[in-house]
Amino acid sequence: MPTLQDKYAELITAANASGATNLAVRAQDNVLYIDGVVPTGEAKDKLWSIFDKIDPDFRSGDLVLNLNVSPAAPSTRLKVTTESSNLNIRKRPGTDQPIVGKAAHHSEVTLLSKYNSEWALIRSANGEEGYCSLKYLTPI
């Protein structure tokens, strides 16, 4: 019977190839955990894309991908330009994804990468990292 490491071998290989540091892969209670720090936002986006290919819509619930982007990664500062409310920061791109944080209206965030034409990987002023809608971000 294939293990979770077998199922996610392409993802583990890609994480290693990305230049990730402090990479840790462990299985516990039928869930595979991949932790570490990737060098760029694009590297994190690529890993999420591989995950989505292996497990479309992330339905299996058997992987926790806990990767942060290195503070040394190239980045751009942007302003949150919501109507008036906080901007939701999500675990993965998509309005159906869990909210992992919020960025205040008119606060500054760090753009780590553009995932696609609608979603960006950002880091808030207090260090929360995740995806948000590009339509609420404006260049400073």
Please report, for the chain, the start and end positions of each structural domain, with discontinuous segments joined by +: 4-69, 76-139
- Please give the average per-residue pLDDT across 25-40, as a whole number: 95
- Reported as a single tens digit per residue, the pLDDT across 66-114 is 999 998 888 899 999 999 899 999 998 999 999 999 999 999 999 999 9
The 3-class SS string of the chain reads CCCHHHHCHHHHHHHHHCCCEEEEEEEECCEEEEEEEECCHHHHHHHHHHHHHHCHHHCCCCEEEEEEECCCCCCEEEEECCCCCCEEEECCCCCCCCEEEEECCCCEEEEEEECCCCEEEEECCCCCEEEEEHHHEEEC
Classify 4-69 by CATH class: alpha beta
pLDDT at 75: 86
Classify 76-139 by CATH class: mainly beta
- Please give the average per-residue pLDDT across 23-45, as a whole number: 95
